[in-house]
């Protein structure tokens, strides 16, 4: 082999060897400097890193309501015993009631005098009753026709004037006395209720509420037209009539009105032979509306 050819063979071989060494060296350096990629990390409040969870946290169930937080059931109202009369009263009259029947918690009396029917409440009677801790049920009976809306408005206005004249404070109820012989319609009841609600006083209605009475039909028709008639009116019913009794022998509170007529006062006895009184049971939850 000629010297020139040997020279070129050696030179090319050296070049190939150097190239291979360079590639090998580059791969080694790359493998030692490249770091593996970490999973995303989070930082806690203490400053330490924690790996992010693979899955989102499960939602925690809402705590069940504490049964003790529910309002306690309301207890039924207590029953109070009382009387009403169309006669004028004095200490002797009250003592007659106490001696023969018991001490009343409430006493029904009429606003102003209606000739031949009832004696009107006087300031002296008011003072006498209040001194003995007896509440008054104010009754208005200066009408004999319970029809038309205008009629209800006019009678309510007259009752308000009587109440203010004798000094009945605001927030107390005035009861319209609708006797069984009176013609009655739902318009009158709405007129009475609307006018009383627009005054300082609260509406009340007294009458015979039975399943088939005209008063019950008129009342329920008025309720269908205006819910305030039911929710804002105190009902005093005279049905049934098992008879006048002393306080100790009063019957259970069982007025005979339909369930959707909420009776709060039951006149269970009429025309007592002694002291000229009627006897009543009154639910305690309306006591604040009596005078």
Q: Which residue has the tokens 């019957």?
A: 251
Here the CATH number for the domain that contains residue 188 is 3.20.20.80
Domain assignment of residue 70, yes or no: no
Tell me what pLDDT residue 77 has.
87
Say how far apart CA 123 and CA 121 lie, in whole Å.
Answer: 7
Domain assignment of residue 236, yes or no: yes
Domain assignment of residue 21, yes or no: no
Tokens of 31: 């493998």
CB within 8 Å of 153: residues ≥ 6 apart: 191, 192, 194, 195
pLDDT per 10-residue tile (average), the chain, 291 residues: 50 54 50 44 45 54 52 77 96 96 97 93 97 97 97 98 96 97 98 97 98 96 94 96 96 94 97 93 97 97
Domain assignment of residue 254, yes or no: yes
Tell me what pLDDT residue 23 has.
45
Domain assignment of residue 73, yes or no: no
3-class DSSP state of 5 = helix
**DSSP 8-class letter at 39:** P
CA atoms within 13 A on the CB side of 135: 19
Say how far apart CA 181 and CA 188 lie, in whole Å.
Answer: 15
Domain residues for 171? 78-289
Domain assignment of residue 34, yes or no: no
Tell me what pLDDT residue 286 has.
96
Domain assignment of residue 158, yes or no: yes
Tell me what pLDDT residue 142 has.
96
Domain assignment of residue 218, yes or no: yes
Say how far apart CA 125 and CA 90 lie, in whole Å.
Answer: 7
Residue from 263, 262, 259 nearest 282 by CA: 263
Total structural domains within the chain? 1
């Amino acid at each position: 082999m000629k010297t020139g050819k040997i020279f070129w063979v050696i030179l090319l071989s050296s070049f190939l060897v150097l190239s291979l060494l360079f590639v090998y060296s580059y791969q080694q350096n790359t493998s030692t400097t490249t770091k593996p990629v970490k999973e995303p990390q989070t930082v806690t409040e203490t400053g330490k890193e924690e790996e992010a969870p693979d899955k989102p946290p499960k939602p925690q169930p809402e705590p069940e309501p504490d049964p003790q937080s529910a309002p306690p059931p309301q207890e039924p109202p207590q029953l109070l015993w009382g009387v009403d009369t169309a006669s004028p009263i004095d200490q002797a009259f009250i003592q007659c009631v106490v001696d023969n029947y018991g001490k009343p918690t409430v006493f029904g009396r009429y606003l102003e005098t209606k000739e031949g029917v009832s004696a009107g409440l006087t300031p002296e009677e008011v003072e006498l009753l209040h001194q003995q801790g007896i509440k008054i049920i104010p009754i208005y009976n200066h009408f004999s026709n319970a029809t038309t809306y205008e009629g209800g408005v006019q009678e309510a206005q007259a009752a308000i004037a009587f109440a203010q004249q004798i000094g009945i404070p605001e927030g107390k109820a005035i009861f319209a006395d609708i006797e069984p012989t009176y013609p009655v319609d739902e318009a009158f009841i709405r007129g009475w209720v609307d006018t009383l609600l627009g005054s300082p006083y609260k509406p009340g209605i007294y009458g015979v509420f039975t399943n088939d009475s005209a008063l019950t039909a008129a009342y329920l028709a008025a309720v269908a037209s205006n819910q305030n008639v039911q929710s804002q009116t105190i009902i005093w019913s005279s049905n049934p009539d098992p008879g006048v009794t002393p306080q100790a022998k009063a019957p259970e509170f069982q007025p005979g009105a339909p369930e959707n007529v909420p009776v709060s006062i039951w006149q269970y006895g009429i025309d007592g032979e002694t002291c000229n009184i009627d006897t009543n049971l009154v639910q305690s939850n309306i006591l604040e509306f009596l005078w």
